[in-house]
A and B are shown apart, each in its own frame.
Chain A
């Protein structure tokens, strides 16, 4: 801890340039529903998987489908499990119910995260959709992670995942795409991924007929690599011809407290 200090007002330094930059990010997010994150170099395939996993966790929390962040949930779940084992006599029905709901959500989320890892080991994934509420043709909320313009390379030539994540979430935060003052209802979240037709993924189910819903605002998080910082060329539109949509066979049902 520290001491309490009262001090006299001093004008704070306000870098004007930076504020303008973030104003532009906010404007694009609000008007076009799009946040662009340009990484200064190439990334790895595993990195892409992490981006998607972390964005999924973040969206679930920010859109009020989880009462606390994923990491906190995991931590509190472990703590609770330990105390339940020590103190079997004292657990109440309601505590048990909450614990089960939390446990179920975590299991669903972990399963999806694991299967995403499997998928990313089988195929390049240029686009991921998170559909919340409603149905897959008409969800209540729709988020797209677009990675078509990311340039991939091996680990030794690529940016560190942790610094990419920091850049990504800082931009997302500034864009304020996910915050909502109004309470958001609990709704199931469905993950759809675009992957190669012949990648052989088993868990995700092909949805050959699926088309991205157009009658709901699509909030796009577009990740790309700065072309001037990469030796490798960006993928072409024609490269995605044999890519089809796959749907996770289960939804993530959130919970509150």
Chain B
């Protein structure tokens, strides 16, 4: 991202403790002083311990974030343009947007951003380099555009995001993390973020026989949130293909049913709310081929989220091992290199790189496992092959290696199970067809 003589932009996120009542201006002043004292950085960095009282008392962490990994030489913050984003986490869990008539029906979950529940998700998600930052930049731009009222007839853009790819790659989590990140980044423009997760399962199980009125009601509630122009509202619809499926199934039938009315109503309402400049619609889909849904079709930001690459897997494992060493389940702590460091060393074998190279081999072997499975692996390794309170890194890597083997074996078996599930689904579809 070199732009002539322009200074490099450095983003600093400041997580203020939830009990702090310090003024934002004061926090900022102290953070800037901290950055001034430690102005040479070698990439992303997070301070959690501080050399002065104010920060110790009020601040959880100060983090330089979202720098490209490939930094070849140290950066001097004094020659960069630094933007500081200060936030505290909302610790309340989600509240449900339920409809007046029936308390059983929970139409959607609703979080206030930045939410404690979403904290750390962004960092835990590992994709091909640039995927996350690009996505972030992309959505940020659309929000800037709409905030500045750029005419979308002249320059085409909208605020509908579609993340698609195989299951278990963290698409839903990425949506949450993205919303969290944006609410922090844009806190100077919007005083808070709202995250509404529409429960598509309840949309299609309980609501099916009901009229589209319920959908209208739910969107009225969402509209109320949007009416607050100080709030940035994210609306998430998971597995958006279920809308298409329902519609296609019904179009095949002769009469329009309740189902199609519900789906049409959802689509119309989404079209309505996306006109507002403070709304971002996030959708996910497990279907990799083209989704035949006019609404999603118009999504400007479509991102394929695939299973992690070897490098991605390595980074996931690395973060897991760091956590286990921090908790002293793996003891004593030993040095593990990042992929970038290994690459720079040309993967040369030495005493210091031995463990890292072992880990790389495990990562290579793990290709094809989903992100969800990868994060479970260290747990399985411990449960199945360690069985003692503390373990050396060397032994733990052996255990992981065995756990990967076991996992791959099971995956073969799982495919058979999947076949049965698929068969089952086909049956349900038929039933569904006949009821349309």
Contacts and interface: CB of A to CB of B under 8 A. Distances in A.
Asked if chains A and B are in direct contact (CB within 8 A), the reply is yes
A134 B228 CA distance: 15
Scoring B19, B24, B227 by chain A CB atoms within 10 A of each residue's CB, the highest score goes to B19
Contacts of B225: 137-138
Given A135-B95, A137-B112, A209-B192, A215 B21 contact: no
Given A206-B19, A208-B21, A137 B191 contact: no
Interface in B324-347: none
Given A135-B112, A209-B191, A215 B19 contact: no
Helix, strand, loop or mixed for chain A's interface?
loop
B270 to A, nearest CB: 20
B227 A137 contact: no
A39 to B, nearest CB: 31
A135 B21 contact: no
Nearest to B191: A209
Contacts of B18: 205-206
Interface string A112-141: 000000000000000000000011111000
B286 interface: no
A232 B91 CA distance: 41
Contacts of A134: 95
Contact of B110 (A135, A197, A211, A214): A135
Given A185-B103, A209-B191, A137 B19 contact: no
Interface in A78-102: none
B103 A208 contact: no
Contacts of B191: 209, 211
Interface string B174-213: 0000000000000000011010000000000000000000
B112 A136 contact: yes
A137 B227 CA distance: 12
A202 interface: yes
Contact of A244 (B21, B92, B110): B21
B407 to A, nearest CB: 41
A208 B88 contact: yes
B230 A211 contact: yes
Given A209-B191, A209-B192, A138 B20 contact: no
Given A211-B191, A215-B228, A198 B21 contact: yes
B287 to A, nearest CB: 33
Contacts of A209: 88, 191-192
Contacts of A202: 19
Contacts of A197: 21, 23
Contacts of A206: 18-21, 88
Contacts of A185: 103
A206 B88 CA distance: 10
B137 to A, nearest CB: 25
18 contacts: A134-B95, A135-B95, A137-B228, A137-B231, A138-B221, A138-B224, A138-B225, A197-B21, A197-B23, A198-B21, A206-B19, A206-B20, A206-B21, A208-B21, A208-B88, A209-B191, A209-B192, A244-B21
Interface of B: 18-21, 23-24, 88, 91-92, 95, 103, 110, 112, 191-192, 194, 221, 224-225, 227-228, 230-231
Interface of A: 134-138, 185, 197-198, 202, 205-206, 208-209, 211, 214-215, 244, 249
Q: Nearest 9 A-B pairs (CB), nearest first?
A: A135-B95, A206-B21, A197-B21, A209-B191, A215-B224, A205-B18, A209-B192, A135-B110, A138-B224
Given A137-B225, A209-B191, A211-B191, 18 more contacts: A135-B95, A135-B110, A137-B194, A138-B224, A138-B225, A197-B21, A197-B23, A198-B21, A205-B18, A205-B19, A205-B91, A206-B18, A208-B24, A209-B192, A211-B230, A215-B227, A244-B21, A249-B91
